[in-house]
Amino acid sequence: MNADDVLQLEQPLKEGGIRSVNFFNGRLLTGRDLSREQTARREADWRLGLAAGDGVAFGLEVDRDTQLSKPDAPVLRITGGLAINRKGQVLRLTADTSVALTRRFDVASSDCIFADCAPIAAGRYIGGAGVYVLTVAPAETGEGSAPTNGLDPGNVRCNTDATVEGLRFRLHTVRREEFITLGLGEPWFRNALAYRCFGGDIRPEWLAGLLAAPPRGEGLLDGLRKTTLTEWDVPLALVHVTGAAQVEFIDGWAVRRPLSRTSPGAWEGLVDGRRPAVGEAMFMQFQRQVMEGAPPDGDLRPMTARTHFRWLPPAGVIPVPEEDGGTDAEATRFFSGMTYRGPAFINGARVEGLLRESLSYPPIDTQGTEMVWLYRVRENRMAIDFAGLGPRPGSWLVFASGHLPYRADAQYDLGYYDYANFALAR
């Protein structure tokens, strides 16, 4: 580069700019000109999407469709919602939709004018037991026929009336070696698989070599992005299939992320929004899994942290059964074999702050010796004690990593008789 190539202040830079067609009276327009204008509009929209980050904005929850599913032909129900892929493209599902996993759909050949469709492939998705990642990706198809002037016979082949920018759902096969060592068939398999998707860089060991650390990764998802998962795809759920196309579980929050930008380096990973987004996914994954197994009385038996979870989020909420005699034996049974302290009373005003602060903390190793704080929420306990003959709310506990500051210090100005604590002995 010589001095003449150096950009001057206030000199326009055209490289990478959006080129729109300049319209004026008397200009002759062709179909190519209008296509260029559409391309410019899409590029502007996608740049806004890149600013927001990739992930799920809202909706797109995945569950079994119990009405349409058959023993050998599972069907998923996906709620309406909106997502943005890594290209910045907005994907909108306007209504709840049922998707058959074993249906063969042969994609009709068509010209993908804006190159959205190149990564999409046809084929039978479920061929047996395994783990799959369900994604949503863009799709494009023609609709209707437009009249032509007949002057150019070649135009008849391109007389599609409208190009519909839609979406489609895809399944990506997770290689068996990615999950076979996680305890396939064991109660903790689902949880261990989810944390393989969160990646090992959420644990403190990542900080040991911080000065030369690579960007924080997301484990299994990063591996898929090197093979079949493209930047056009937005992950929605993990699907574990056993036997003859039997869906064992669907875990959305293992792979879905709130809108956030991927960290380009280690330092950004310490302060940007991607790490709290993964923390939110950890919290929601646990809550969904534990509530799926929770009966109305809150007794999670035989589920315990050590038997069903390899890792816990740094803070979470569990339902617990009511018990007489003023003990906490049943309420704390979920943490059997772990080191914990409490439960102590905490005011409800502190719960949301505790959960939000926890999003950037490392997960709890259920097989380790790390201490866990347990809290009863005063408002919940009082509502149960003074319910009288009316309906009683369910009882629940908050747990938090011992790395989080203790939240139940004695506060005489806000304390309630029988719903407060003595200060911890120092």
SS3 state at 201 = helix
Pure H helices in 199-341? 220-225, 266-271, 274-292, 305-308
> pLDDT per position in the chain (426 positions), as tens?
677 788 888 888 888 888 888 888 988 988 889 889 988 998 999 999 999 999 999 999 999 999 998 887 889 999 999 999 999 999 999 999 999 987 554 544 444 333 444 444 443 445 457 899 999 999 988 777 777 766 565 555 567 777 788 999 999 999 999 999 999 889 999 999 999 999 999 999 999 999 999 999 999 999 999 999 999 999 999 999 987 678 999 999 999 999 999 888 999 999 999 999 999 999 999 999 999 988 877 888 889 999 999 999 999 999 998 876 567 888 899 999 999 998 999 999 999 999 999 999 999 999 999 999 999 999 998 888 888 777 888 899 999 999 999 998 876 655 566 777 766 765
pLDDT of residue 125: 46
pLDDT of residue 326: 66
pLDDT of residue 293: 82
Q: Are strands 372-377 and 340-346 parallel, antiparallel or unpaired?
A: parallel
234-242 sheet: strands from edge to edge? 160-174, 130-145, 234-242, 246-251
pLDDT of residue 331: 87
Report the distance separating Cα 76 and Cα 24, nearest Å.
51
pLDDT of residue 146: 73
pLDDT of residue 124: 42
pLDDT of residue 115: 42
Q: Given phi > 0 = left and psi -120 to 50 = alpha, else beta, which region is 293?
A: alpha
Looking at the DSSP bridge assignments, the partners of residue 263 are none
Residues in Cβ contact with 238 at an 8 Å cutoff, skipping those fewer than 6 apart: 131, 132, 133, 134, 193, 194, 197, 249, 250, 251, 252, 254, 255
pLDDT of residue 420: 72
Per residue, what are the HEC states of 77-138? EECCEEEECCCCCEEEECCCEEEECCCCECCCCCCCCCCCCCCCCCECCCCCCEEEEEEEEE
pTM of the model: 0.87
